[in-house]
Amino acid sequence: MPKHFQEKEREIIYQRLIEEGKKHWQSYGIRRTNLEDLCKAVGISKGSFYSFFSSKELFFMEILEVSEKEMKESLMKALMNREGTGKERFIEAFTLAFKEAAQNPWLISFMTNPAEYEYLMRKLPQEAVQKHIDGDDEDVEKLLMSLGVDEKNVEIKTISAAIRGLFLLLLHEKELGEVPVEKVTKVLLEGLAERIFGRD
């Protein structure tokens, strides 16, 4: 029978699950991660794991959500600390975000493995995927408003999808040929910025 944890204890275990989950993700991938080994590393039973997450896939989705939240906070901080036009700040901040993503070992192990990504998307409940997309749309809207963009002049969902598409390029890096993915994302990012802010 799963142990009942106090609120403070749950917070500590949750953080340990996220950190251990990242390690297992990087080492074994989603499909080969063994929940019993993960729980042993955290110091809880497998039954207790399910009092936090209803499935392994939703657990890994939570890791993605937590990491994405950290990246978004870093992105907003970068935007606020930079001078220049909204367009210049947009390009600089997202260039930084791509670099940070590229330096995240467990995220790269996921984003450069199309089979892992497709497996997770296939196993997740559709409502969980849609909730994630809706959250992205809301965050993109806030970001653009902070840069002085009139929401009447842009299609938020389209811009949000385009930004997701830029990150998903990492899944198809090999198919880009000899051109480094950084150069490709730079060209596409500048084109997206022009679509949002117009020509200089």
pLDDT score of 1 = 47
Query: Could you tell me the pTM of the whole model?
Result: 0.82
Residues of the chain falling short of pLDDT 70: 1-3, 200
CA distances from 166 to 17, 46, 95 (A): 29, 37, 11
Q: Which two tokens stand for residue 153?
A: 């002049």
Rounded CA separation 162/64 (Å)? 19
pLDDT single digits (tens) 90-141:
888 888 888 877 777 777 777 778 888 889 999 999 999 999 999 999 999 9
pLDDT score of 162 = 93
CA distances from 192 to 6, 12, 18, 188 (A): 47, 41, 33, 6
Same domain, 149 and 111: yes
Same domain, 158 and 76: yes
pLDDT score of 2 = 55
Same domain, 61 and 99: yes
Same domain, 42 and 69: no
Let me know if 26 is exposed, middle or buried by CB neighbors in 10 A (0-12, 13-18, 19+). Answer: middle
Pick from 166, 23, 174: which is nearest to 106 by CA?
23
Provide the domain limits for residue 27.
Answer: 1-52
Same domain, 149 and 81: yes
